[in-house]
Amino acid sequence: MSLVPFDDRDGTIWMDGQLVPWRDAKLHVLTHGLHYASGVFEGERVYGGQIFKLTEHTERLHKSAEVLGFTIPYSVEEIDRACNELVAANNIDDGYVRPIAWRGSEMMGVSAQKNTIHVAIAAWEWPAYFSPEARMRGLKMRISDWARPDPRTAPVVSKAAGLYMICTMSKHKAEAEGYHDALMLDWRGYVAEATGANIFFLMEDGKLHTPEPDCFLDGITRRTVIDLAKRQGLEVVQRHIQPEEMANASEAFLTGTAVEVTPISSIGDYNFNPGRVCESLMKAYDEEVRRGSDKAALISGSAA
């Protein structure tokens, strides 16, 4: 299957306050964000034309920028409105939204105090990766050679572009070796996360265990799934997890905007059996993300 390049598509992109033709949304090669990774972004999913937890994502975008030392020149409300306007303009039903903010090109060097802050938002159709049946087969993963850094060495609470370099490197190596993804440990050797998703384990005590998010993002999907698990009567334990403890887990799964809730079949030499808990949380999450779009459709139908 041939790839459709992301710089050569139909539609519009919101850029610095206005909708522009997709192919015209460009930046200069000497943009600071390109050379020094001074950019932050979000990833959001659209279900039935509605963006799931849009404001939470936009608020995190602002906080991420603050951590990197710059202020986004549009309010949370303005960006929310732009995201919704863009989804409607591009006729997105089930899709993905990517807001990004970065330092411009006025100064080229480590210091960029006077650079303009730019913001762009793109949205495109993006149906589910796998059917529920295919997802239940589980992902095959390896343990990455790269580790999540000490919070004293990187802005780990920000969804900053530069933090994803080792994720791309880890995922590329995993795919080259026949795996779907890689598990990243942290600088202390504890289990951290996958290259773009959080991780959960159903341990032999019957509780869900998930790593303490002290050196990686406490994902919005992660928090949603924790709430769903508690509604189902599952106890959720957030703690530091040693890699060898994975031998005590019967089920494991990833959570994230892109992967949603996706079971894992193996991580290196550790094997899991996607089962009742994975299946119930997949179903609960699918229902949760569709709740807003179903309500909007009902209101629209009533108005008609």
Catalytic residue annotation: 159
DSSP codes, the chain: -----TTS-SSEEEETTEEEEGGG----TT-HHHHH--EEE--EEEETTEETTHHHHHHHHHHHHHHTT---SS-HHHHHHHHHHHHHHTT-SSEEEEEEEEE-SS--SS--TTPPEEEEEEEEE---SS-HHHHTT-EEEEEEEEEEPPTTTS-TTS-BGGGGHHHHHHHHHHHHTT-SEEEEEETTS-EEEESSSEEEEEETTS-EEEE--SSS---HHHHHHHHHHHHTT--EEEE---GGGGGGEEEEEEEETTTEEEEEEEETTEE----HHHHHHHHHHHHHHHHHHHHHHHHHHHH-
